[in-house]
Amino acid sequence: MRPLLLFAHTRRHPSAILFLVQLVGMLAYPFIEGTPAGQVGFNVFGIVVLAFTIRMVRRTPGEVGVSLALAVPIIGLLLAQILFGMRELLAWSSGLEALFYFYAAGSLIAYMMDDELATTDELFAAGATFTLIAWGFTHLYVLLQEVHPGTFAAAINAAAPRTWTELNYLSFALLSSTGIGDVIPLTVHARALASVEMLIGLMYLAVVVARLIAFTTRNRIAVGRARKRRMEDWERD
């Protein structure tokens, strides 16, 4: 019975499940990305995230066909890296993954802005969208690093290539406007991309999240007023 209830919950709140899967990935990646087997697991988990994201897009105004058109070559490139160790395909898969996550984020934003109600799933969608945008920029940073080695530096092992986790940390720091931290973009292209991410983060918080908060507050006020009117009617009766 419990598995059936859990499955029904995932159908009602796909954004929550996607958000949870993304958080699990961010916590697990630091433990596995430093080994060859971990790299395989990293790519396999990436395919899992793609599947959950496509499922989520079905609930939004976005086109599932577009998501599938991006996901199929991504899966092929990731499988080639898993089975044949073709690291030279990393730049291509990262670029396509960035497009995929940005499209999914745009679909979620359209879903949240589609009406003037703030449902539970839409509140989870706000977190999932933020993470999707951060992951999209992370893959763009991976692409830049593959095309131009030495694009990023850090306080420790400054000359070494930055890992996905380090670039993901940079992406979240920029998107949330909390600062760059110890990972620093060095080239003009990386700094331009970082500037765009900071702007998008500010706009997302100021427009989308603020709108959801306003709808949530308004709905609670309306419910409170309706409850008060019912109490007053009951007292008069």
Q: What is the pLDDT of residue 2?
A: 47
Q: Are residues 114 and 120 in contact, defined by beta-carbon separation less than 8 angstroms?
A: no
Distances (CA, A) of 83 to 25, 47, 51, 73, 191: 21, 14, 20, 15, 34
- Mean pLDDT, residues 42-61: 84
Tokens representing 28 are 């697990």
Q: Are residues 137 and 105 in contact, defined by beta-carbon separation less than 8 angstroms?
A: no
Question: Where along the chain do its domains lie?
Answer: 3-235
Residue 143 clears pLDDT 60, i.e. is over it: yes
Q: Are residues 98 and 140 in contact, defined by beta-carbon separation less than 8 angstroms?
A: yes
Q: Band of the pLDDT at 7, cuts 50, 70, 90? A: very low
Residue 219 clears pLDDT 70, i.e. is over it: no
Residue 118's SS3 state is coil
d(CA 20, CA 191): 30
**Which residues lie closer than 8 Å to 72 by C-beta, 6 or more apart?**
none
Q: What is the pLDDT of residue 85?
A: 83
Percentage above 90 pLDDT, the chain: 42
Query: Which is it for the CA torsion 217, 199, 95, 182, positive or negative?
Result: negative
Percentage above 70 pLDDT, the chain: 86
Q: What is the pLDDT of residue 158?
A: 84
